Structure 1
Amino acid sequence: MQFCTKSVLFAICTVITEAIPDTVGSKLIGLVTSRAEIPELLKLDDVIDLVIPRGSNKLVSQIKSSTKIPVLGHADGICHVYVDKSADLEMARRIVLDAKIDYPAGCNAMETLLVHRGLVEKGWLNNMILDLRTEGVTLYGGPRTSSLLNIPMAHSLHHEYNSLACTVEIVDDVYAAIGHINLYGRHDLYAHTDSIVTEDQEVADVFLRQVDSAAVFHNASTRFSDGARFGLGAEVGISTSRIHARGPVGVDGLLTTRWYE
């Protein structure tokens, strides 16, 4: 978990403002210290160009509905990892564990594991479940998986756990995986990060083309969706909007273009 107290925020703000030359002005940076000030700020659409809320989907939705200012927000991070029948199974195991346990509270952590039905017959899914449980992960099943593996039914297939818990579901093929992701991974038609693990390039290409998420990966953990890893420098967030910045957003994603001659 990441915490930032008011005293730390005040110290950071002080350092930044003291570093700004007098010719620019110390009032360039402002510090909001209470939630009571936010509604008034959101009314200032004549002077504020962009709002970047950091927090839950509920917070983002509340801000979007209460201001005319453009909001660079994000939907729920319902991130999926789909393990195809042709996957390198040891690679798949490492990717799944990293995606779930590296930082489970992150918006780019895996919330749903989709597994090709052929891997159930091979016994890989049973081994994967054992590995996840060993790491302290609580497992819930989709309609097919819950009864087959005797694990509790997930109350929703569109759920961001933000903890050491995830949903597991069995699918027939890559098209079924894509259908699942496009149905349950979206919120207001925006999706976060999804990954396929496969050694079949044709299958990977289908997945990468047809999954409409802010970030889509082949043989990589969803945790890779990060501004620093993308070389964007300091990250202000991961946007699931289609316009204009999408995915991890650095400074360039906050800028507009002004043409003159």
Structure 2
Amino acid sequence: MVTDSQGSREMAVKARSASRALQALRSEDRVAILNRIADSLEQHEQQIMAENAVDVAAAGGTISDSLLQRLVLKPNKIHQLADGIRAIAKQEEPVGRLLSRLEVAEGLVLDKVTSPIGVLLIKGGKEATRSNALLHQLIVDAVAEVAPGVGRDLIGLVTSRHEIDELLKLHDVIDLVIPRGSNQLVSYIQAHTKIPVLGHADGICHIYVDTAADPAKARRVCLDAKVDYPAACNAVEKILVHDSLVGEQLNSLVKALQDAGVTVHGGERAAAALGLPPAPSVRHEYSSLDVTVELVGGLGEAIDHIHTHGSGHTECIVTEDQAAADDFLRRVDSACVFHNASTRFSDGYRFGLGAEVGISTARIHARGPVGVEGLLTTRYLMRGTGQAVEKDKGVQYTFKPLPLS
């Protein structure tokens, strides 16, 4: 009899073995797998959407509106996913790419090459059970069809909270956890594993409207950052406005937001100055058509506010003052920092990564939208002619950089 813990370990061990088989394939075989997965997603689009609709219906009333919106597959999403996978297939081969070559000593050459991190545990919320099951089936079917030697064990499907708890104990087999779901899920995983966790629990993004902002640009950027997809982690949650703009320009921005259906809350200063309802707290993630507006005395105060109350996700400055913009981009310590562009651009697809497994506010090892490059580490390959260290007496070190080709 196999216990749950034994089953979880077996799943992870099989995934590691299959991942090594995948890494050993020719580059063109891995490309063929990706293209087959993309084709399969498009061929089964209606089935995927139907399963997602069942998930959404079952989740209604049991989860927050913001999480429900994240669960819903929007029209054309499957084609976007397929296009992203094909974009990855067209990229330069990421595995085994030569990064540096060094002559350590005569006849002794050291290469630094890219390598996959290893086994990943990617966990979404239980609300997507049916959608995930179908996507898992389509992907492993495609892998097995193109590369039988890799097989279906490359990706295991986790279906219960107990399995997650068991997998989180397997720090000797699993190399990285990427949680995709609610803040509560991310926080739970971060607190219950020794495995490195890549992700973010909060998405408290800011826009600072500088005194030198173009009013039309400020309205367009702020509206898009809030209204385009309010439940997204890269939607703006707080707009900081230079206090010199109190009056017609700020009133115009607030009215534009309200006309778009946004409930505008005021920070401590803005609530009093503009008669706005007070924000729930100084650090609040709405994930809905709500936003906080707060007044600041200048660039330095805006940056301090972001560092004190933000989550390190994505921040933006709207200004025509290039020096102020450069200062903001240099000093703000967040994963993504923009000038005159909506925070909604903070996305793996929009960054040209092809696809995204998550957005990380951590500092090790990947930060910001994480695509293929963020799932790589490095290895060293040394080629010699029989050298021995012999307490370094028998080696004349040269440490000479060599051309990569």
Q: What is the TM-score when the length of structure 2 is the normalising length? A: 0.62
Amino acid in structure 2 at the alignment position of 1:132: L
Partner of 2:184: 58
> Does structure 1 residue 93 correspond to structure 2 residue 161?
no
How many angstroms apart in 2 are the aligned matches of 1:88 and 1:148? 22
CA contact (8 A) 2:224 2:344 kept: yes
1:13 aligned to 99, 113, 136, which one? 136
The offset of 1:249, in angstroms, is: 0.3
> Does structure 1 residue 220 correspond to structure 2 residue 341?
yes
1:197 aligned to 295, 318, 322, which one? 318
Partner of 2:297: 172
Unaligned runs of 5+ in 2: 1-68, 72-126, 383-405
The offset of 1:19, in angstroms, is: 1.8
SS of residue paired to 1:216: strand
SS of residue paired to 1:97: helix
Partner of 1:115: 241
Partner of 2:70: 2
How many angstroms apart in 1 are the aligned matches of 2:130 and 2:201? 30
SS of residue paired to 1:159: coil
CA contact (8 A) 2:212 2:319 kept: yes
CA contact (8 A) 2:70 2:232 kept: no
Unaligned runs of 5+ in 1: none
How many angstroms apart in 2 are the aligned matches of 1:179 and 1:58? 27
Amino acid in structure 1 at the alignment position of 2:331: Q
CA RMSD of aligned residues (A): 1.2
Partner of 1:207: 328
Amino acid in structure 2 at the alignment position of 1:91: K
The offset of 1:127, in angstroms, is: 1.1
CA contact (8 A) 2:205 2:313 kept: yes
CA contact (8 A) 1:145 1:151 kept: yes
Amino acid in structure 1 at the alignment position of 2:320: E
CA contact (8 A) 1:52 1:71 kept: yes
Q: How many residues in Structure 1 have an aligned counterpart in Structure 2? A: 256
> Does structure 1 residue 246 correspond to structure 2 residue 246?
no
Amino acid in structure 1 at the alignment position of 2:234: N
SS of residue paired to 1:238: strand
**Identity, % of aligned positions:** 62
- Return closer, same or farther for 1:229/1:137 CA change in 2, 3 Å cut-off: same
Q: What is the TM-score when the length of structure 1 is the normalising length? A: 0.95
Amino acid in structure 1 at the alignment position of 2:253: M
Structure with greater proportional helix content: 2
Spell out, residue by residue over 1:187-246, the C-alpha distance to the aligned partner (whole angstroms, 9 max, x if none). xxxx10000000101111111111100000001010010101111111011100011100
CA contact (8 A) 1:75 1:192 kept: no
How many angstroms apart in 2 are the aligned matches of 1:48 and 1:202? 46
Partner of 2:376: 255
Amino acid in structure 2 at the alignment position of 1:184: H
Amino acid in structure 2 at the alignment position of 1:130: K
> Does structure 1 residue 184 correspond to structure 2 residue 309?
yes
CA contact (8 A) 1:113 1:169 kept: yes
Structure with greater proportional strand content: 2
Partner of 2:355: 234
SS of residue paired to 1:31: coil
Partner of 1:155: 280
The offset of 1:5, in angstroms, is: 4.0
